[in-house]
Chain A
Amino acid sequence: AQTVTQSQPEMSVQEAETVTLSCTYDTSESDYYLFWYKQPPSRQMILVIRQEAYKQQNATENRFSVNFQKAAKSFSLKISDSQLGDAAMYFCAYGETSYDKVIFGPGTSLSVIP
């Protein structure tokens, strides 16, 4: 069965600095999708970034970028120029077209220090 692991339950970063959140996953499939979702204290989950496994180019969205290492089954999220509004729980997630559900990791709680 597919699994998603986030080994850092909590992290902190100084405002304006860069932080990287780690994620590893396990699958025997070659075609799949990976996501990072953000859940701020207001609790509404927001899609941060999406990566298609067949694309070698790493996805980016403004200050958010990923380092996708398919062979290592690693999918880390880099947040540059961290802002107070980035403080949230971040979930790494895995999905396949063949079954319509997404598996979420346990999450990493990110604090931003002013």
Chain B
Amino acid sequence: KAGVTQTPRYLIKTRGQQVTLSCSPISGHRSVSWYQQTPGQGLQFLFEYFSETQRNKGNFPGRFSGRQFSNSRSEMNVSTLELGDSALYLCASSLEGSVDGYTFGSGTRLTVV
């Protein structure tokens, strides 16, 4: 079956712009989580969605937001981009929640210039 699909793979944006990243989970998976990965901070939890509801949110500013659609696809949005937002953004899906074990996408590499 198809894996977790993240688009786009690479993105270059200018400071102050906004960006939307997309994630399509494995068919049947209802939970989608987002992580930011940087060399300095490692993997940091952004948020988790289940059946279109945000169940948990990490310690990120309000510029970071997300949503989940009825087909479980998810998007995350970052507004007013800063240089420090440059990172690999990983989406992970699971059946019901994180303790089931994640299936990760390949990530979106965001570079802010």
> Would you call B98 and A100 a contact (CB within 8 A)?
yes
A47 engages B98 (CB within 8 Å): no
Expressed in whole angstroms, the minimum distance between the Cβ of A19 and any Cβ of chain B is 21
A102→B107 CA distance, assembly (Å): 17
- One of B33, B101, B106, B107 near A101 (C-beta < 8 A): B33
Does B81 interact with chain A (Cβ within 8 Å)?
Answer: no
Chain A contact surface mostly: strand
Bound Cα distance from A95 to B90, whole angstroms: 17
B54-113 residues at the A interface, CB under 8 angstroms: 55-56, 58, 88, 90, 92, 97-99, 101-107
Closest to A91 in B: B43
Cβ of A97 and Cβ of B97 under 8 Å apart?
A: yes
Measured CB to CB, the closest approach of chain B to A33, in angstroms, equals: 4
A28 CA / B59 CA spacing, docked (Å): 21
Across the interface, B55 reaches (CB within 8 A) one of A95, A100, A106, namely A100
Say whether A104 faces chain B, with CB atoms less than 8 Å apart: yes
Known A-B contacts A45-B92, A101-B33, A101-B56; the reply to A96 vs B104 at CB < 8 A is: no
Set B45, B55, B97, B104: member contacting A45, Cβ < 8 A:
B104
Cβ–Cβ contact B104 & A102, under 8 A: no
Taking a contact as CB atoms under 8 Å apart, the answer to whether B101 and A35 are in contact is: yes
B105 touching A44 by the CB < 8 A rule? yes
- Look across to chain B and name the residue whose beta carbon is closest to the beta carbon of A44: B106
Q: When the two chains form their complex, are residues B88 and A43 in contact, meaning their CB atoms are under 8 A apart?
A: yes
Q: Determine if B43 and A44 form an interchain contact, defined as CB atoms under 8 angstroms apart.
A: no
Q: Is the CB of A100 within 8 A of B42?
A: no
Chain A 31-51, CB-CB to B under 8 Å as 1, else 0, gives 001010100001111110010
15 examples of A-B residue contacts, CB within 8 angstroms: A35-B101, A42-B106, A44-B104, A44-B106, A44-B107, A45-B104, A50-B101, A95-B98, A97-B97, A100-B48, A100-B56, A101-B48, A102-B99, A104-B43, A107-B42
Besides A44-B105, A47-B103, 12 more A-B contacts (Cβ < 8 Å) are: A37-B104, A42-B106, A43-B106, A43-B107, A45-B92, A91-B43, A95-B99, A97-B99, A101-B56, A104-B42, A104-B43, A107-B42
